Structure 1
Amino acid sequence: MKLLLAGETFAAMTSVAAGGDVLTSAAWVNGATAFNAALATEDIAVTQIGGERCSAEFPYDLDALAQYQAVVISDVGALTLLVTPDARAGRVGVNRLEVLKAYVEGGGGLMLAGGYMGFQGMFGTARFHDTPVEDVLPVRCLPVSDGMEVPQGLQTSILESTHPIFAGVEGPLPLILGMNKLDFRPDGSSRLLATCHHRGTDWPLLAVRNHGRGRTVAWATDIGPHWLSQDFLGSPLYGKLMVNMVRWLAGIQ
């Protein structure tokens, strides 16, 4: 199967002051290397459009999305998809969040993953609240900064161990180090599969939904570092869980 991954690349600039001189260096990081490798072992072909390329290169219409059985959006905000080169130049154009909604309703699979630029995002900068993408998710985004850092680790409670996403995933999941706060959509079409307890609240970690002819997944933490701990990324459960999510999205299991 073919999957489109949008986001998960980062450009980092570092300035070092040495006396009166300042040296600046830049680095480019792909946070999805473990994710891509896990899917490759199961013959899932991933096309990744890095965050810096999404504004210009993310598909503009259903025909372009139709070649993919599933789409994963991870650590790239709504504005990056909304503000196309045409929009930036002041020309009327397409709303790609509406296109994604239509893609799901027509039978596609969409996963929104967590992170600083996931859901509403750390500092409220991802801005998926009150968008067509939120309309199809099994959760609602909080209209505030929703990221929480938990360096001591969060333990996952699996609520539906018999769901296909947990096939072959036995035992407790390793700790995660942060997640986005979300509001589960209890509308009958959505299922809450896993939560994390923090400061008196059970927050949705993994939820799924059948919407129209398609499916959606909300995974409220990273698909890579840093919210996924090294123990999580190094566990055989990581690859199995990511592959199962993608296969479920595509209707394969």
Structure 2
Amino acid sequence: MNKRVLIAGESWVSYTTHIKGFDTFYTSNYEEGVKYIRSAIEKAGYEVDYLPNHEASSKFPTTMEEIKKYDAVILSDIGSNTLLLPHNTFTKSETTPNRTALIRDYVLEGGSFLMVGGYMSFTGIDAKTRYGMTEVKDILPVKCLDVDDRVERPEGIVPQKVKDHEAIRNLPEEWPHFLGYNKTLPIEGAEVLVEIGGDPLIAVGSFGKGKSSVFTSDCAPHWGPPAFVNWTHYDELWKGLLDYMTSK
């Protein structure tokens, strides 16, 4: 049986106001950015379940039994509020399971976790994402900032491998450029494998019986430009990380 991966996030709705002289009208558009990473993971032989942001609030696992069906869980561009404030808690003041604590306990009991960067990852734009104030912080191989952590690099910035490791052994020294990333800080006991702007891009660590990793830039546009998502080694990047995390 193939290993199973749950990806949550990587979707958005745009609501646009069009002003044409006296008149205005509105359009809305739903988009997903998951196709690149999902395709890479499926090519590596994993089965993928995907929860876009608007479904994750109600459908993300709430029990250890549910989340242990997966060999790895990936959060990409999904804010902590989506996990912490399900409908019944926010509108009816009902108690519900803390799913950031569930992710932590899942890793400590042997699960695998990956956080991918974006405007709604780590601390995020305007510090709205704030995973560093949730239990997820206890199993991240980096420390989140307390402020808006975006590093925008419109001129392009190229990562650099700084350590040999089985998770990236098939990746070359030369990387394509990125257009930004979430700034995080290295922590004792974890390993930074690739740096970007002197900060962690890929870091890994063991926590309890499980493993955790981060990729602090985007798996899709805009921070991940065509040079990255069409990179010859794009698929191998995610395969290497998942193979490392899910190996026992």
Normalised TM-score (structure 1): 0.94
Looking at structure 1, the residues matched to 154 and 46 of structure 2 have their Cα atoms a distance apart, in angstroms, of 32
Aligned-residue offset at 1:167:
2.5
Looking at structure 1, the residues matched to 154 and 245 of structure 2 have their Cα atoms a distance apart, in angstroms, of 30
Aligned-residue offset at 1:85:
2.2
1:237 maps to amino acid:
H
**Of 56, 59, 80, which aligns to 2:58?**
56
Identity of aligned residues (%): 28
Aligned-residue offset at 1:173:
1.1
Looking at structure 1, the residues matched to 141 and 216 of structure 2 have their Cα atoms a distance apart, in angstroms, of 11
Which residue of 1 is the match for residue 46 of structure 2?
44
Which residue of 2 is the match for residue 90 of structure 1?
93
Are the counterparts in 2 of residues 173 and 237 from structure 1 also a CA contact under 8 Å? no
Which residue of 1 is the match for residue 183 of structure 2?
181
Which residue of 2 is the match for residue 155 of structure 1?
158
Pairing 1:133–2:133 present: no
Looking at structure 1, the residues matched to 238 and 23 of structure 2 have their Cα atoms a distance apart, in angstroms, of 46
- Could you say what secondary structure the match of 1:117 adopts? coil
Aligned-residue offset at 1:133:
0.3
Are the counterparts in 1 of residues 58 and 86 from structure 2 also a CA contact under 8 Å? yes
Which residue of 1 is the match for residue 33 of structure 2?
31
In the TM superposition, 1:59-70 aligns within 5 A as: 59-70=61-72
1:175 maps to amino acid:
H
Which residue of 1 is the match for residue 195 of structure 2?
195
Pairing 1:245–2:241 present: yes
Are the counterparts in 1 of residues 62 and 102 from structure 2 also a CA contact under 8 Å? yes
Normalised TM-score (structure 2): 0.96
Looking at structure 2, the residues matched to 32 and 165 of structure 1 have their Cα atoms a distance apart, in angstroms, of 21
Deviations 1:14-38 (CA, angstroms, capped at 9, x unpaired): 2211121112111111111111111
In the TM superposition, 1:208-223 aligns within 5 A as: 208-223=204-219
1:71 maps to amino acid:
V
- Could you say what secondary structure the match of 2:44 adopts? coil
Which residue of 2 is the match for residue 123 of structure 1?
126
In the TM superposition, 1:228-239 aligns within 5 A as: 228-239=224-235
Are the counterparts in 1 of residues 181 and 216 from structure 2 also a CA contact under 8 Å? yes
Structure 2 unaligned runs (5+)? none
1:210 maps to amino acid:
S
- Could you say what secondary structure the match of 1:43 adopts? coil
Equivalent residue pairs, number: 245
Structure 1 unaligned runs (5+)? none
Aligned-residue offset at 1:129:
1.4
Runs of 4+ deviating beyond 4 Å: none
Looking at structure 2, the residues matched to 115 and 193 of structure 1 have their Cα atoms a distance apart, in angstroms, of 19
- Could you say what secondary structure the match of 2:110 adopts? coil
1:231 maps to amino acid:
A
- Could you say what secondary structure the match of 2:129 adopts? coil
Root-mean-square deviation over aligned CA pairs? 1.1
